[in-house]
């Protein structure tokens, strides 16, 4: 059984940083791409960042320069470092495990999802 467990969310002030983590169990982590999505209150789920199995990342435009996705295959963990946080970054952040080795912006390309970790940014 594949499980994804996120951690690292919390309540912060504008301009602060957070590092989200997602530990994956039940599959060969190093073979697959990983992604982060988020869902703000009253909105749909949106893509944040993705990383392929070689470590190449892509980002949603609004987080470019502020977000860094990385992976540690020895720890079966993917990270999302978010800097210079803004109130519009407030959302539940979800980790997702791809069906493929490459990165993707599309939620349909992800097979497994975590339960989410909440990030609240106040001004």
> For the segment 43-54, what is each residue's pLDDT rounded down to a tens digit?
999 999 999 999
Indicate the pLDDT class of residue 5, thresholds 50, 70 and 90. very high
pLDDT at residue 7, as a whole number? 97
Six-digit token pair at 53?
A: 């199995």
User: d(Cα 57, Cα 122) in Å, to the nearest integer?
Assistant: 28
pLDDT at residue 104, as a whole number? 97
Local structure of 101: helix, strand or coil:
coil
> Within 10 A of 56 (CB to CB), how many other CB atoms are there?
12
pLDDT at residue 20, as a whole number? 98
For residue 11, the Cα-to-chain-centroid distance in whole angstroms is: 17
In this predicted model, what pLDDT tens digit does every residue of 64-95 receive, in sequence order?
999 999 999 999 999 999 999 999 999 999 99
In this predicted model, what pLDDT tens digit does every residue of 26-41 receive, in sequence order?
999 999 999 999 999 9
Give how far Cα 89 sits from Cα of 22, 66, 85, Å. 18, 11, 6
């Amino acid at each position: 059984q594949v499980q994804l467990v996120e951690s690292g969310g919390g309540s912060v002030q504008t301009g602060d940083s957070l590092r989200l983590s997602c530990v994956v169990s039940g599959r060969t982590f190093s073979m697959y791409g990983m992604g982060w999505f988020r869902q703000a209150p009253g909105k749909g789920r949106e893509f944040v960042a993705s990383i392929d199995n070689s470590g190449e990342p892509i980002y949603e435009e609004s987080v470019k320069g502020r977000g860094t996705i990385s992976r540690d295959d020895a720890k079966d963990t993917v990270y999302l470092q978010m800097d210079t946080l803004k109130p519009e970054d407030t959302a539940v952040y979800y980790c997702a495990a791809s069906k493929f080795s490459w990165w993707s912006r599309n939620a349909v390309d992800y097979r497994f999802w975590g339960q989410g970790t909440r990030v609240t940014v106040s001004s």
